[in-house]
Structure 1
Amino acid sequence: MQNAAKKLFANLGIDMRLLGMIGALVLIWLTFHLATDGRFLTPRNLFNLSVQTASVAVMATGMVFVIVTRHIDLSVGSLLGLLGMVMGALQAKLLPEIVGLGHPSIWIITVIAGIALGVMIGAFQGWIIGYLTVPAFIVTLGGFLVYRGAAWWVTSGQTVAPLDPTFKLLGGGAEGTLGETLSWAVGIIAAIAATAVMLMSRRTKARHGIAVKPAWAEGTLIALVVALTVGFVWLMNSYKVPDRAAARIAEARGWNVPDDFTMNHGIAIPVVILLAVAITMTIISRRTRFGRYIYATGGNPEAAELSGINTRLLTVKIFALMGGLTAIAAVIASARLGAVGNDLGTLDELRVIAAAVIGGTALAGGFGTIYGAVIGALIMQSLQSGMAMVGVDAPLQSIVVGMVLVLAVYIDIVYRRRTGS
């Protein structure tokens, strides 16, 4: 029976780490669903869970590259707070005086400025690490302290509000979604695109004489991907917008609707941003020279440098990318809250590192996957949300998450020893 299962998974080409993470996630969901009398696995809670996961997951995709190259970034939470505060001050105080209150360009300028600042700060950290050879732990620990203090100085410790209405849509909520119809359109396009990519990959492998999965295995995987995509869209479209909120949204958009008008949320914009980031980062890691250099350097830095890879410049690029992704996460986090306070991003650096490690990224370097980091972030958020719904105190939540992190690393070590990977 066990050999048959191994043969089945081998034919399907499913990574056992991925299977283990999905199994752990399903177990967590079922446990909390029973503990909350059926309130966990509902469209409303899963919608909120997807939005809450987005900002940490976006940063976790960048943390994969950082850890793969045998570095660490302890500054992302503080940097998120600083970037959020700067973007909040831009749209609430500076830009309205320049372009006018409520101008449609405010949110665009804010996002571009935030990402540019994040990239510059990340590149500066990478330059210190790569060219001045100061350990990443020390550099980013210094950043952890500096950026949190700098965030306070931007507004003298005052909470920034209100944010631009269009900017706030990037954080989700009843209005920050694609809506039912567009969600279905995006889901169908995504399913078709995933199917086409898998078939083209199979054809390319066959053309170059590379072994491919059996036709039934390929068909099974395609059917699974399509079913998961359609199922996710259906769940998001099953979450109904409260009647008063739906009426307010319809009135603001100038719709002429009947008295019994109803509206469903659909896919939240933060989730769309996360999917776009995850797909882009996956392409970078698998299909570009930059991605190959990252994994080669993480596997053996000395050999990579001897082979001609500029590992110092590579470090600058990786931390610049991490800074840009932190800015995107700051957009999501601040927009979701509708305000920016001094506590924005507190302890996010630990959540991001934990998400990457739980997702299978090796602290020794050389291995890590983007999808693993996203699933790791979802596992982290599921634990926190589930424990909050059950009524577990915050200190105990931290204890449980810490124990899960240590257990995940131990399991990964055992797995690598047995497989020799």
Structure 2
Amino acid sequence: MTTENSSASGANASTSGTSNEGAFNRFLRVTEIDPRLLGMVGALLLIWLGFHLYGAIVNGFGAFLTPRNLWNLSVQTASIGIMATGMVLVIVTRNIDLSVGSILGFCAIVMGVIQVDILPQYLGLGHPAIWIITVICGLILGAMIGAFHGFLIAYLEIPSFIVTLAGLMVWRGAAFLVARGETISPVDSTFALLGGGPYGAIGSTGSWAVGLVACAVILWMLVKGRKRRETYGFHVRPVWAEVVVAALTCGAVIGAVLLVNAYGWPRGIVRRYAEANNITIPEEGLFISHGFAIPVLILVVVAIGMTILARRTRFGRYVFAIGGNPEAAKLAGINVNMMTVKIYALMGTLAALAGVVSSARLTSATNALGQFDELYVIAAAVIGGTSLAGGVGTIYGAILGALVMQSLQTGMILIGFDSAIQQVVVGVVLAFAVFLDNRYRSARK
């Protein structure tokens, strides 16, 4: 009798709680949309709209919400976003990496020397294998540096803050020594395509192909996920909720395709392209779409790969287990030391990949490349919901955080803010993000 009464009481309480739930909260619960993700998207849209309206009021026109600026913003976000995906795993395990900007700069310098000074002597200038060998060497170098940092942290038990702070100074100085303080340019022409630009994009047709494939994959994943839940008897979302999620995600993809295709090549480049290919330019002009930039596609591939790694593999489960409770992870048989080495090796590889994108975008390698990027990468991960207390973080959140950080920086440049003010704003935003994270975790306890 007592059990029945308590069960009835619990059911009534649950029903009462559901009935008192607001319509918006019920929508989020049924569709399983992450409230923090929605909050970040809302904040991003407010930032974009704010900078656009400010420019419209002060200068008479808004320059932020234009295809040109948003396309450039996506390219500028690529290198920070690539590194932020790795920083999520580092912070989840209760560590930190302050050296990623210096690793980026050092790897970029070494790759510059390889493709400008070394390989042309043996393969000949413009050889098609130059950029491939260069990228492979850069990624291996980044992985070795990261693994070395991980070894010092895991096996010599030096705090990650100290190891990576030392790495920040050591690899920045090493980059200066390798390049002798000089700018290394121009990089290989094919390598330069990895940085974007008119020729470093896939055009309108390629972008539509990517967008349609992405939509097909999204729909397939939703259908497969629903069938898997039904098979194992898990809760299944209502059909209307599945349709809403599919419409939102596919709508975002199609919107991105329309946006990048709305940004055309500059007239001078169009004219040179037409002359080189014997194309007659009509009186109304010739419009050639940029489409998705190659750095953005690299970021998307990295994001997908890192998401699978974090959520679908044993490696990812071990990472979050270590972040949740390192001692329990050790008792469960996880080799925490080797995992730390692997995580930092992965972080170094991603920093080197960001170095590929950054140096290709500038078509040169300089000693200052990647300077202060570590601050933006950490800020992007934290803003994206990665907890400094460990155990919590998402890849897509870090990329959104990178987009927020780059949007702030780009917007402040457009409206003419001094660089000192930009640094102040970044610091305030980072502190505020940590404050919100603490409040969010306290509210969930």
Q: TM-score, normalised by structure 2?
A: 0.93
Compared CA separation, residues 369 and 7, structure 1 to 2 (3 A): same
- Once the two structures are TM-superposed, the CA of residue 347 in structure 1 deviates from its matched residue by 0.2
Aligned partners of 2:278, 2:399: CA distance in 1, in Å? Answer: 37
Alpha-carbon separation, structure 2, partners of 1:255 and 1:285: 50
Distance in 1 of aligned mates of 2:136 and 2:279 = 36
| Total equivalences in the alignment | 419
Alignment of 1:174-193 (within 5 A): 174-193=198-217
The separation in 2 between residues aligned to 1:198 and 1:244, in whole angstroms, is 45
Counterpart position of 2:97: 73
Give the structure with higher Rg (CA): 2
Residues in 2 aligned to 1:126 and 1:341: alpha-carbon distance in whole angstroms: 27
Are residues 1:97 and 2:116 paired? no
C-alpha contact 1:64 1:361 (8 A) present in aligned 2: yes
Q: Does 1:44 align with 2:68?
A: yes
Q: CA deviation at 1:240?
A: 1.1
Q: 1:136: how far off? A: 0.7
Q: Does 1:355 align with 2:374?
A: no
Distance in 2, matches of 1:403 and 1:20, equals 18
User: Partners of 2:173 and 2:220 in 1: how far apart?
Assistant: 49
On the 8 A contact 1:118/1:326 being kept in 2, the answer is: yes
Task: Select 1:304's aligned residue among 308, 326, 329.
Answer: 329
For 1:10, give the aligned amino acid.
R
* AA aligned opposite 1:410: F
Partner of 1:21: 40
Residue aligning to 1:54: 78
The one-letter code matched in structure 2 to 1:22 is: V
Determine the structure 1 residue equivalent to 2:87.
63
Matched residue, 1:31: 50
Structure 2 counterpart of 1:203, from 213, 218, 227: 227
- Does the 8 Å contact 2:179/2:367 carry over to 1? no
What is the CA-CA distance between 1:257 and the residue it aligns to? 4.7
- Secondary structure (helix, strand or coil) at the match of 2:370 reads coil
1:279 pairs, out of 272, 292, 304, with 304
Q: Which letter maps to 2:375? A: L
Question: After TM superposition, what 4+ stretches of structure 1 lie above 2 angstroms from structure 2?
Answer: 247-252, 254-262
**Selected match of 2:148 from 116, 124, 132:** 124
1:90-239 aligned at under 5 Å gives the runs 90-239=114-263
Please list every run of 5 or more consecutive structure 1 residues that lacks an aligned counterpart in the other structure: none
Distance 2:278 2:205 in 1: 16
Q: Distance in 2 between matches of 1:189 and 1:232?
A: 14
Matched letter for residue 158 of structure 1: E
1:162 match: secondary structure: coil
Helix, strand or coil at the partner of 1:36 = helix
Q: Is the 8 A contact 2:274 2:280 kept in 1?
A: yes
Q: How much identity, in percent, do the aligned residues show?
A: 56
Alpha carbons 1:187, 1:233 under 8 Å: kept: yes
Q: Is 194-203 or 378-387 further displaced after alignment? A: 194-203
CA shift for structure 1 position 247: 2.8
The partner residue of 1:394 within 407, 414, 419 is 419
Counterpart residue type for residue 7 of structure 1: R
CA contact (8 A) 1:111 1:331 kept: yes
- Note the alpha carbon deviations across 1:97-144, whole angstroms, 9 max, x for none: 010001011111100110011011111111111111111111111100
Over 3 Å counting, the alpha-carbon distance change for 1:80 and 1:206 in structure 2 is same
Query: Is residue 351–residue 380 contact of structure 1 (8 Å, CA) maintained in 2?
Result: yes
Q: What's the secondary structure of 1:396's corresponding residue? A: helix
The amino acid that maps onto 2:339 is: L
Q: What is aligned with 1:246?
A: 270
Distance in 2 (CA, whole Å) between partners of 1:136 and 1:89 is: 30
Q: Which moved more, 1:1-10 or 1:349-358?
A: 1-10
CA distance in 1 between counterparts of 2:275 and 2:132 reads 25
Alpha-carbon displacement from aligned partner over 1:256-309 (angstroms, at most 9, x marks no partner):
454443211100000000000000000001100000000000000000000000
Q: Cα deviations across residues 353-376 of structure 1 (Å, max 9, x unaligned)? A: 000001010001000000000000
Question: Contact 1:64–1:356 at 8 Å: present in 2 too?
Answer: yes
| 8 Å contact kept, 1:175–1:249 | no
Report the Cα distance in structure 2 between the residues aligned to 1:126 and 1:193, rounded to whole angstroms. 36
Q: Give the equivalent residue in structure 1 for 2:355.
A: 330
1:2: how far off? 6.7
Residue in structure 2 matched with residue 320 of structure 1 by the alignment = 345
Contact 1:77-1:345 within 8 A present in 2 as well: yes
Q: Is the 8 A contact 1:75 1:141 kept in 2?
A: yes
Q: Give the letter aligned to residue 316 of structure 1.
A: V
Q: 1-side partners of 2:189 and 2:126: how far apart? A: 8
Q: Which runs of 5+ in 2 are unaligned?
A: 1-19, 57-61
Q: Is the 8 Å Cα contact of residues 274 and 281 (structure 2) preserved in structure 1?
A: no
Deviation (angstroms), 1:75? 0.4
Q: Does 1:268 align with 2:282?
A: no
Equivalent residue number for residue 290 of structure 1? 315
Q: In the alignment, residue 308 of structure 1 is paired with which amino acid?
A: G
Question: What is the CA–CA distance in structure 2 between the aligned matches of 1:261 and 1:238, rounded to whole Å?
Answer: 13
Distance in 1 between residues matched to 2:273 and 2:21, nearest whole Å = 54
How far apart are residue 251 of structure 1 and its match?
A: 4.7
Secondary structure of 1:24's match? helix
Give, in whole Å, the separation in 1 of the partners of 2:32 and 2:198.
39
1:165 Cα offset (Å): 0.7
Output the CA distance in 2 between the equivalents of 1:105 and 1:297.
41
